Structure 1
Amino acid sequence: MKTFKLKLLNIMEEKTGEIIPNQIPLLDGLIIDREDENNQWTIEVYTDNSFQPYFEFLQKTKSEILVQVKISKESNDLATFITSIIGINEIGSNINILFVGNIVDKRKENIEFLLTTLIEEGYQGKELLEKFKELT
C-alpha cells in the first residue's frame, strides 16, 4: 500500500446537465493506493461536521460518486475516481468520511481516443506512429 496526503476534494455533481465540482474544505485527508487485485483506493476526508448531512445524503442516494482529488501537492493535476462512501464517523466536532473506489485513467482514455481517431483518418504503420508522436 502507498499512502499520500490529500490536498483537495471535489464532489462532482450534475446540475442542469453539467458536471460541477463541489469543493469540500479539508481539515486533513489521506488517499491510499491499496494495491489490491481490484485496483481500489481508499480516500479519507477529515472535515467540519456541518457537512455530515450532505455526506449522509450522498451515502443513502448514490451508489457511485464521482470525485476529483489532488494528491501530495496543490500543483499536481486532478485525479478522478469513481467511489462509494463506506463510512462516516464523528470525531469530536468534526467528521471523517471514507470512500473506496477506482481511479479513472484519463490519460489512457485520451491516448485510446487519439489513436482511434488517427486510424479512422487512415493512418497506419510508420505514418501512424509519426503522426501520434507529432500530436503528443
Structure 2
Amino acid sequence: MKTFKLISFQLVDKNDETIQIPFIDALIINKENEKNTWLIELFIERAYFSVFENYQPQDKFPVNVIITKAENDPATFLVNVINSKVIDEYVSILLEGTLSRSRGYAEQLLGLLLDKGLSGNELLLAFKEEIRTKKNKVGRPSKK
C-alpha cells in the first residue's frame, strides 16, 4: 500500500454540482490490490457532514482530488462511503473507490463551462482562469 497527502477534495453531487469540501486533514491510500482500490479518509468539520449523509453505503459517486501537490491535476475517483465517525464537532469519513480514467480534469471542466453556455473567447478565458486557479482551491477550512 502507498499513502499520499490529499490537498483538495471535491464531490460531484446527485445534481452534477461540484462541491468543494474543506477538510482539517486528509489522506489517500492506494491499496495496490487486484481491484485497484483506493481509500480516502477525510477529517472534516461536522457542518460538512450533511453532504455525505445523502448517500447510502451502496451509492457510488464521483469525487475529484488533488494529491500531494497543489499544482497536480485533479484525479477523479468513483467512491462510496464505507464508514463515518463523529468526533466532537468533527467527522472522520472513510471512502473507498477506484480511479476513473474516463474523463480527465480538463475535459470535465470544459464540459461544465459549455453547460454554463460559455463559448468563444469567454469560454477560453474562463477555462484558462479555472486551470490557473485550481491550485488555489485547497481543502483546508478557513481558521476561525
Correspondence for 2:49:
52
Correspondence for 2:74:
78
| Matches for 1:64-75 after TM superposition, within 5 Å | 64-75=60-71
Correspondence for 1:100:
96
Q: CA RMSD in A?
A: 1.9
The 3-state SS of whatever aligns with 1:59 is coil
Query: Which structure 2 segments of 5+ residues have no match?
Result: 105-144
Deviation at 1:71, TM superposition (A): 0.3
Higher relative contact order (CA 8 A, sep 6+): 2
The 3-state SS of whatever aligns with 2:55 is helix
1:36 aligned onto 2:30: no
Aligned residues: 104
Q: TM-score, normalised by structure 2?
A: 0.66
Pair member with larger Rg: 1
Correspondence for 1:91:
87
- The answer on whether the counterparts of 1:56 and 1:88 sit within 8 Å (CA) in structure 2 is no
- Which runs of at least 4 in structure 1 moved beyond 4 Å after TM superposition? none
